[in-house]
Amino acid sequence: MLSEFLVTEMARGGDADRLPLHRQLYEALRRAVLDGQLSAGDRLPSSRELTQDLGLSRNTVVAALNQLAVEGYLVSRVGSGTFVNDELPRAKARSKAHRAHAPVAQLSRRGTALSTTFCATQLEIQPFTPGPADFSAFPVALWQRLQNKHWRMTYPDMLDYSYSGGHAPLRRAVAQYLRMFRSVPLDIDQVIITSGTQQSLELCAQLLADHGDTVWLEDPAYWGAVKAFMATGLHLHAVPVDEHGMAPRTADEQRAPRLIYTTPSHQYPTGAVMSLTRRQQLLSIAEAHKAWILEDDYDSEFRFSGPPLSSLAGLDHSERVLYMGSFSKVLYPGLKLGYLVVPKRLVDAFKQAHYDLNRPGQMPLQAALAEFIELGHFASALRRARQGYAQRRQSLLEALQPCLGPSAQISGAEQGLHLCLRLPVHVDDTALVQRIAGLGLTVRALSAYCLERTDAKGVVIGYGYAPLVQIARFGPVLARAIAAELA
């Protein structure tokens, strides 16, 4: 029974060519515990039995069991074997129904909204999941060396909070990078190191808008930003996106914005690149309404055709743009370091509030990152990543070719780590995505990102995470599923 479950789990992982066997077994066993296939207190077959049943090497089995023991899933009792830790909470049937029927725990209204709408789920990361980048090639050994160097020369201040917007060498490195590659004119002083875009957004919303003030968001929108604005009590006003990016209508101006949140380099999720005219228009609107533009320049690093468009911040003469980015796509997500560039007149207030609200720290990590950038490792990681992603993108584009036509067109493939296949408005893209999930592939429905509009249908397809070989292998599968829908 158990070994069958494990074999099935390991087989359908779909990650067969990436994860080492002991990791696959680890995942399968963990799933067995979490799904209730194994219950708290259950005795496991011995490693010898598992070795035989699964046809794996003893080392593989032992490595997986050890890891699970370290993490507390399993406990060993001398002389009697290995058991599922009976301190584990009783496994819950993982069903959608569970969530739906969970007692509403007396959350506040915003708490309920925050924990039930636009929720990221820990999807099985499968080929074509939009969002994640591939950080498996991150130079861990080099990173460790740099960290060690800075820990060795650590003086007590480095262990303290960071008072002045972040470690100065890192702020300098960020300023140089942004001046050079994003035409953002700035002084080092204007750079604030944050724990990433979520914190940057929250800080902007807290300092620049009051409860009930209006934020213009792109429709369809990036969930993370939606959440940050919900949490800070703003009124969300949806502005549709077309092929030139955010497209404000005359009527929108009746709902005067206090903040305008935009992703001009590669609109999330449609992938539209904002035209220069549109950029100028947004800047004029911001000036007319004394509003602030929050420019989230995520994905600007990965441009595949043509030179990068310069940022909104680079066009801004009225100091109305706050520019933000993070290192998570080029380095790794868990790093939790990003940057926010604020106009000079806001610097003092932002640094003060950032310190008081967030007590930023992680200075040795910031120092290692500064040196990583200064020594050119960031640039080479970026170059390598760009090449790798370009191949994956090419492979995906080729695979999708057969299902393209007047009613199925690609948008947003010039840049970033995902593209969007736009479909006719009558298509039920949610159902399509579920059918595709049945094939072991993860894409997202464009409509799932929509705030108000009902005319945006399609599938958002990521090529950042899965290796080229998987894209080449599963791309045609995906294309056939989509073509079948359109037939």
* Contact between residue 141 and residue 367 where contact means Cβ atoms under 8 Å apart: no
Q: Which of 17, 55, 79, 89 binds its own copies (CB under 8 A)?
A: 89
Judged by beta carbon, residue 352 or residue 407, the one nearer its own copies is: 352
Judged by CB under 8 A, does residue 206 bind its own copies? yes
**Residue spans of beta strands (DSSP E) within 228-371:** 235-242, 245-246, 259-262, 292-296, 321-326, 338-341
Q: Write out the binding residues for its own copies, residues 242-261 only, by CB under 8 A.
A: 258
Give the count of beta carbons closer than 10 Å to the beta carbon of residue 178: 24
CA distances from 268 to 18, 295, 426 (A): 28, 12, 22
Q: Which of 46, 59, 76, 107 binds its own copies (CB under 8 A)?
A: 107
Q: Which of 109, 250, 254, 454 binds its own copies (CB under 8 A)?
A: 109
Nearest distance, CB of residue 446 and its own copies, angstroms? 20
- The 420-459 site mask, x for binding its own copies (CB under 8 A), equals ----------------------------------------
Nearest distance, CB of residue 403 and its own copies, angstroms? 30
Judged by CB under 8 A, does residue 361 bind its own copies? yes
Q: Write out the binding residues for its own copies, residues 290-349 only, by CB under 8 A.
A: 290, 306-307, 309-310, 314-315, 317-319, 332-336, 343, 345-346, 348-349
Judged by CB under 8 A, does residue 53 bind its own copies? no
Q: Return the biggest CA–CA distance within the chain.
A: 77
Tokens 């703003």 belong to: 234
Length of the chain in residues, anyone?
487
> How far is the C-alpha of 108 from the C-alpha of 112, rounded, in Å?
6
Count interface residues toward its own copies (CB under 8 A): 129
Interhelix angle for 47-54 vs 2-12, to 10°?
60
Q: Write out the binding residues for its own copies, residues 17-36 only, by CB under 8 A.
A: 18-19, 23, 27, 30, 34
* Contact between residue 221 and residue 198 where contact means Cβ atoms under 8 Å apart: no
Token pair for residue 475? 């791309």
Q: Write out the binding residues for its own copies, residues 214-233 only, by CB under 8 A.
A: 223-224, 227-228, 231-233
Nearest distance, CB of residue 426 and its own copies, angstroms? 31
Q: Candidates 192-200, 264-272, 421-429, 456-464 — which segment interacts with its own copies by CB under 8 A?
A: 192-200
Q: Which residues pair with 19 in a beta bridge?
A: none
Residue 304 phi/psi, 5° resolution? -105, -20
> How far is the C-alpha of 231 from the C-alpha of 215, rounded, in Å?
13
> How far is the C-alpha of 109 from the C-alpha of 102, rounded, in Å?
16
Judged by beta carbon, residue 87 or residue 455, the one nearer its own copies is: 87
Judged by CB under 8 A, does residue 383 bind its own copies? no
Judged by CB under 8 A, does residue 358 bind its own copies? yes
Nearest distance, CB of residue 3 and its own copies, angstroms? 22
Judged by CB under 8 A, does residue 39 bind its own copies? no
Q: Which of 187, 242, 253, 452 binds its own copies (CB under 8 A)?
A: 187
Looking from the CA of 282 toward its CB, the CA atoms found within 13 Å total 32
* Contact between residue 429 and residue 446 where contact means Cβ atoms under 8 Å apart: yes
Token pair for residue 83? 């058991």
Q: Which of 3, 51, 147, 391 binds its own copies (CB under 8 A)?
A: 147
Judged by beta carbon, residue 168 or residue 483, the one nearer its own copies is: 168
Token pair for residue 396? 């995906």
Judged by beta carbon, residue 55 or residue 306, the one nearer its own copies is: 306
Judged by CB under 8 A, does residue 198 bind its own copies? yes
CA distances from 267 to 35, 128, 233, 296, 298 (A): 37, 18, 24, 9, 9
